[in-house]
Amino acid sequence: MQVLREIRALRAALRAAEASTRGLGFVPTMGALHAGHLSLVERARRENALVAASIFVNPLQFGAGEDFAAYPRTEAEDLALLEAAGCDVVLVGTPDDLYPDGFATEVRIDAPFTRELEGAARPGHFDGVATVVTKLFGIFAPRRAYFGLKDLQQVALVQRLVRDLDLDVEIVPCEIVRDHDGLALSSRNRYLDAELRTKAARLPRALQSARAALAAAPHDRQELERHVRALLEPDFVVEYVDVRVLPDFVRAPEPLREGRLVVTARLGPVRLLDNLALECSSEDGA
Ligand code: AMP
């Protein structure tokens, strides 16, 4: 695996491999890799001639008071994991290289959903994501790019970006990888101490329970939210509960039957995001 630390060197490596637009599968990450990230790399490996990844903790997508400085950085382990998963080339990005002096462009997607849920909770976050993803697509020129459904709203954002700007890349949404007790893997789970980590498994269980309740009887949003809050409070601070439908992350019609059940709840120092396809929804969450 080649490890490059400058955009220029990365581009030269890709050109040398003659994979500029054909057969390159790309997995953008912020590092602190776990089996969820690796599932994207493994899928990219199966579907592409060449597999590239990026490790870049993107300052633009962190708000004031968020954990940019503290975000886990585990580069040596990440590189070993990427190599073992079959990654051919990785860019370990730096803010100076991606955002040099004079950088003045922002990509902002003005779809209604970018102001809702995560967009409302984290002002500016999606602008930072859209900007860096646009840059990374420009840098790598991938044929396919792999994103986890763990960040469902981000998948909708990237799909909108690609459609609106006619970017020549196929977005491949990938199912959520979970720990042994059902908790969705996340780089931020390492902020949970042992006691909170045990409690955290109640979140995926609450999603399962709510999904079963929706399948058994008609529910509107209020009833769904009551169901989820009853299972999680007071240990969790529930931020939002909803059912949304891709590609544009619109609110599912009531009674809630199709789409993905989305819950975000704070547990101690961590915001836990999770979602689950309802029984009659298709696998890709549409
Ligand atoms: P991040 O490093 O958090 O920016 O995540 C990089 C990519 O990995 C994003 O597309 C995430 O949605 C995806 N990802 C993170 N956690 C998981 C998971 N548990 N299962 C599948 N994909 C994931």
280 confidence band (pLDDT: 50, 70, 90):
low
Phi/psi region, residue 77 (left: phi>0; alpha: psi -120 to 50; beta: rest), is alpha
Q: Confirm if 20 and 62 have CB atoms less than 8 A apart.
A: no
Query: Which ligand 1 atom sits nearest the alpha carbon of residue 39?
Result: 21
Mean pLDDT of 141-158: 97
- Environment class of residue 31 by beta-carbon count within 10 Å: exposed (0-12), middle (13-18) or buried (19+)? buried
Out of 34, 37, 125, 227, pick the active-site residue. Answer: 37
pTM: 0.94
| pLDDT tens-digit series, residues 127-146 | 999 999 999 999 999 999 99
Average pLDDT over residues 72-76: 97
270: helix, coil or strand? Answer: strand
Pocket of ligand 1 (CB under 6 A): 29-30, 36-37, 39-40, 147-148, 150-151, 174, 176-177, 184-187
Q: pLDDT confidence of 285, banded at 50, 70, 90?
A: very low
In this prediction, residue 284 carries a pLDDT of 46
Ligand 1 centroid–CA 151 distance in Å is 7
DSSP 285: -
Q: Looking at residue 286, what is its pLDDT?
A: 41
pLDDT at 15: 77
Residue 162: phi and psi, rounded to 5, are -65, -40
Ligand 1 mean position, distance from CA 261 (Å)? 18
Ligand 1: nearest atom to the Cα of 186: 16
Q: What's the sign of the alpha-carbon dihedral 15, 154, 187, 95?
A: positive
**Known catalytic residue: 227?**
no
